[in-house]
Each structure stands twice: as structure tokens, then as C-alpha cells.
Amino acid sequence: MPTPRASRASRQLQPWVLLLLPLLFLTLFYFYPLAAIFRVSFVENDASAVLPRLLSAGTLRVLGFTFGQALLSTALTLLLGLPGAYIFAHYDFPGKTLLQALATVPFVLPTVVVATAFTALTGSQSELRYTLGAILLAHIFYNVTVILRMVGGFWANLDPHLEQAARTLGASPWNAFREVTLPLLAPALGAAAMLVFIFCFTSFGVILILGGPRFATLEVEIYRQTINFANLPLAAALSLLQIGITLMLTLTYTRLQTGLARPLELRPQWATQRRPHHFPEIALVSATVLLLGLLLIAPLLTLITRSFGDGLHYYTALFENPRRSIFYVPPIMAIWNSARFALATTALALFLGLLTSLALLRQRLASGGWVLDALFMLPLGTSAVTLGLGYLISMGRPPLALRGTPLLIICGHTLVALPFVVRSLLPALQSIRPALREAAATLGAAPIHVFIEVDLPIVRRALAVGSVFAFTVSMGEFGATSMIARPELPTLPIAIYRFLSLPGALNYGQALAMSTILMMVCVVGFVAMERSRPLGMQTF
């Protein structure tokens, strides 16, 4: 019989045993590729040349555009999202639930689908296609749900009596809002704005497709320097710049988000919302709903209708393989490739995510748990294009000669999906009362049996949510895959981008058809995820 001291030692070692495989995976497919980028910049090339590359006129121009379009996109998203957040927080009206669901759909769509939808909306030959306006519209469409959810959800729970008290003391509506509500709303507003800025700053698919040759962010420039010019030293230097800026932005977002946890007397939404009665209220709600509805529905509806513009011809053409095609296989194989990569990614991400979540659950009882938690969230703050560049540099030689293999694509997708799986599973595991596990152990159940009989039935809904996250993330991943996939092994987003890049109505129509298919997969996955989400589980 083990001594109490031995039992304590076993419990202390158990989290690290569980973490062996996840940490090995993170080391091989995250830290090792990033280290390869540092090696190319500072070891294999002249380190003194890195700074001149970063300070060149071309790099500064790209950096200025990256910051500028992100700032402008964030400001416009706030401008449109705040009225929507206000009416969602304060009014109950017919169709509100449907509009909230529609507002979330764009956020779960791959960027290549969003870009294709706006291409369909403006027209493939439209003067708006390769303009800053098209980029800004797509970013607003993609990110407005962040404002609606983060700001609107927080605003809906603020106690209205605080502002009413200020009005009673003689403050005007504007002064009451500025002096009372706005300071309370500031943490949610700042965190949401910073998150939107990060998404726009790291935008890739939207800029690549809608910006064309005229516009380039850091992400797009890294891709072009690697794929088009094979200039790995410059691409590596830009990746270092991208990593540094993204890390600072992520730390700023984390700091702003801590303000959401400060103690406030929050009220349930049923106590803070009412039906609009007066004409100004009805007009405000109607105009905001109409504007949001047009922005959210028009691009997706146009994408679907134009994909059927020639009947089913664009869809049946996906099964054909014309001579001198850019693919060595029929385009339908891109759907099959994406599906099988997504299934393998889901299995691997669930396995690693479950081990990671169980280890984090146990380690949080000890010191240093937050460090491990942050460690596994790092891929979320890292550019997918930068990871793809790291794979190109590091995975072409032993001991990890995986470049061009399906396994590398699956591992790259798993790295991106793993944080979502962990964030789906960890809250569900934390909700299990320790007394349930202790009772099973007292009755003689082994640890594996305790997990199967107690934990697994409780977290099965969270497992379903994590699996949908992993599947849809893999189906839509474009940045890293565009750097490492072989021409004869295209995924659905890569095939869409290649067809959009080619002239001809048939190529354009096939891109619309594949985008519609990918959109429907993501929408079905989102609906399944919302139905499977455990009660009380926070959205991620």
C-alpha cells in the first residue's frame, strides 16, 4: 500500500506525465519552426542586415498600410457595431435571436469564403474589387460580431439604475452616459476594439484576394516574398517583426480583458431589456436591424445565388479535370482532401486537447498552472503564414523531413485547432465536483475507470464542441496550408484562391461553388456547436 507521501508525489507527477505528448507536439510544430526563422535571420544570414531590411522603404510602406487599414477597420467596425450592441443590450424585439445568430455566422467562416462572398457581391470585374473599400467592408462584416457579443453582452448586464440615478440628479442623457455608463463599459469596449484590431492586423485571405497586387499587409508580404520571390531572409525578417508586434498586441488585449473581471453589480438581461415603444426607439431599432441585416445577409446570399447562376454547371464542373488544369486531379478532390485532413485533425486535436486539459486541471491546483495555460494559447497569437514559413524552413531536412507531406498539413491544422479544443474542454472539466471522482475512487475504481465512468459522460458535450471547432478550423485554414501544400494536394481554401486568380467565367463559378460548399459546412458546424454547448459555458 503506497504511503501518503508517495501518493502526493504521484499526484504531483501526474500532470507532467499527461503533458509529455502535448509538450512534445508543441515543441516540434511550434517552437522548432519559429527557432528556424530566427536561425535564418541571425545565423545563416548576416545578422547586421536584418535591421536594414526592416527599415527599408518597402517594408515601412507595408507596415504603415498594415497599421492603417487595421485602425480604419476597427474604427468602422466600432461605428457600426456600437448601435447594434446598444439595441441588443436594451431592447427585446421580434427576430432578435435570429439576428444574433446571423451576426455570429461570419465570424466562424474562413477568411477565403468571406473574401469570395464580397467578390461575388461587387462582381469579379467590378472597380471595387481591388480597393481599400472592399477590404474595409469585408473586415467589418467579419468582425462586427465581436462588438455585438463582447460589448453588447457586457452592456446588457449593467445596472440601469446607475444611469437613472444620474438623470434624477439633473444630468442630461449624454452626460449620464459619458460620466456613468462609458467608464463602466470601457474595459469591454477596449478589449473588443483591441481584438478586432489584432484580427485586422493579421488579416491574410481578405487582403490577398480583395487587395490584389495593390495592397499588402505583413502577412501577405511574407507570403509573397516566400512563394513568389523565394526571398527567405526577408520573409524571415518580416516574420520576426510580425511575431514581436503580435505578441505586444496580445499582451495589451490580455491586460484590457482583466478589466472585465472587476467586481460590478450585474443584472440579468430580462431586467435590463424592454420592447421599443416610442417612435425614436422603434426607428433606431429598425434602422440598425436593417443595416446589420444587409451587411450580414447580402454577401452570403449573393455568393449562394451566383454559384447557381448557370444552374448546377459550376458544381458539376468540379468533377472534371480539363487538360492543362492547375490541378493534377479534379477540383472535387480538394473537398475530399480538406475533409480527410479535417477528420484526422479532429482526432489528433481531441486526443492532445484532452491530455492538455486534464493536466491543466490538476496543475491549476499547484503553482505555475497559468504559465502552462498561456503556453498552449501561444499559437492563437502567432501568424499562420509565419508558421507556414517556419515549416518550409525547418521541415525539409532530417530529422523532420515532412515538407510536402499530408502529415505536416494535419499537424499544422492541429496546432491551430488545439487552443480551441482546450478552451472547450477545460471549463467543462472544471465544473465536475471533486466529490464525484473521490466517491468513485473510494469504491475502488482505477483512475482510468474514474475518467471513463465519471468525467467522460459529463464532458461529452464539450468534446462535441471541441470536435466541431477542430473540424471547421481545419476545413478553413488557409495561411499555413498555402505555404506547405503540394499542387496535387490542394485543400478547399487553396483551390478557391487558385480559381479566383484565373481568368474565365468557369473558373470564377467553380470558386463560388466551392466557397458555398465550405460556407455550408461551417454554418452546419456552428449550429451543431451551439446545440452541443454545455449550459453556462462561455463562448470562446
pLDDT, tens digit only, all 540 positions of the chain: 444 443 443 344 466 677 889 999 999 999 999 999 988 877 777 767 777 878 888 889 999 999 999 999 999 999 999 998 888 888 888 877 777 777 878 877 888 899 999 888 887 677 777 889 999 999 999 899 889 888 888 887 777 777 777 777 777 777 777 777 788 888 889 989 998 999 999 889 999 999 888 899 999 999 999 888 888 888 888 988 888 898 888 878 877 766 555 544 555 555 566 788 788 888 888 888 888 888 888 898 999 999 998 889 999 999 887 655 555 678 889 999 999 999 999 999 999 999 898 888 776 545 555 677 778 888 877 888 999 999 999 998 887 889 889 999 999 999 999 988 988 888 887 777 777 766 777 777 676 766 777 777 778 888 888 898 899 999 999 999 998 988 888 899 999 998 888 888 888 999 999 999 999 988 888 777 777 666 544 444
Same domain, 457 and 441: yes
User: How many Å apart are CA 20 and CA 355, to the nearest integer?
Assistant: 9
Is 448 among the domain residues? yes
pLDDT of residue 268: 54
Q: What share of the chain is helix, strand, coil (3-state, %, to 5)?
A: 75, 0, 20
Q: Which residue has the cell 504521484?
A: 10
pLDDT of residue 2: 46
Task: List the grid coordinates of 303.
Answer: 455568393
Question: Which residue(s) pair with 91 in the sheet?
Answer: 274
Same domain, 420 and 464: yes
Task: List the grid coordinates of 26.
Answer: 508543441
393 dihedral zone (left: phi>0; alpha: psi -120 to 50; beta): alpha
Last residue of a domain, one of 307, 326, 341: 307
pLDDT of residue 73: 96
| Structural domain of 313 | 9-44+308-534
Same domain, 467 and 438: yes
> Going by C-beta distance under 8 Å and a sequence separation of 6 or more, which residues neighbour residue 97?
none
User: How many Å apart are CA 193 and CA 525, to the nearest integer?
Assistant: 27
Q: Whose CA is closest to 390, among 33, 38, 35?
A: 33
pLDDT of residue 271: 55
DSSP per position, 309-354: TTTTHHHHGGG---TT-SSSS-THHHHHHHHHHHHHHHHHHHHHHH
Same domain, 19 and 109: no
Is 3 among the domain residues? no
Same domain, 154 and 84: yes
Is 422 among the domain residues? yes
Whether a cis peptide bond, with omega within 30° of 0, leads into 399 is yes
User: How many Å apart are CA 491 and CA 120, to the nearest integer?
Assistant: 21
Same domain, 356 and 288: no
Same domain, 39 and 58: no
Q: pTM of the full predicted structure?
A: 0.82
pLDDT of residue 68: 96
Last residue of a domain, one of 252, 282, 307: 307
The count of structural domains within the chain is: 2
Angle made by CA atoms 324, 329, 334, in degrees to the nearest 5:
125
Give the chain's length. Answer: 540
pLDDT of residue 459: 82
Same domain, 213 and 323: no
Distance from chain centroid for Cα 354: 20
Same domain, 226 and 312: no
Question: Which residue(s) pair with 274 in the sheet?
Answer: 91
User: How many Å apart are CA 451 and CA 466, to the nearest integer?
Assistant: 18
324 dihedral zone (left: phi>0; alpha: psi -120 to 50; beta): left
Same domain, 377 and 269: no
Is 540 among the domain residues? no
pLDDT of residue 273: 67
CATH number of the domain at 322, please: 1.10.3720.10
CA distances from 130 to 65, 70, 125 (A): 15, 17, 10
Same domain, 113 and 256: yes
pLDDT of residue 368: 55
Same domain, 483 and 378: yes
User: How many Å apart are CA 143 and CA 69, to the nearest integer?
Assistant: 14
End-to-end CA distance of the chain: 44
Task: List the grid coordinates of 319.
Answer: 468533377
What are phi and psi for residue 91, nearest 5 degrees? Answer: -125, 150
In the DSSP assignment, the letter for residue 274 is B
Is 469 among the domain residues? yes
Task: List the grid coordinates of 262.
Answer: 472587476
Q: Which residue has the cell 492603417?
A: 68
Is 360 among the domain residues? yes
Q: Are 73 and 196 in contact (CB under 8 A)?
A: yes
Is 199 among the domain residues? yes
Is 467 among the domain residues? yes
Whether a cis peptide bond, with omega within 30° of 0, leads into 434 is no
Last residue of a domain, one of 248, 272, 307: 307
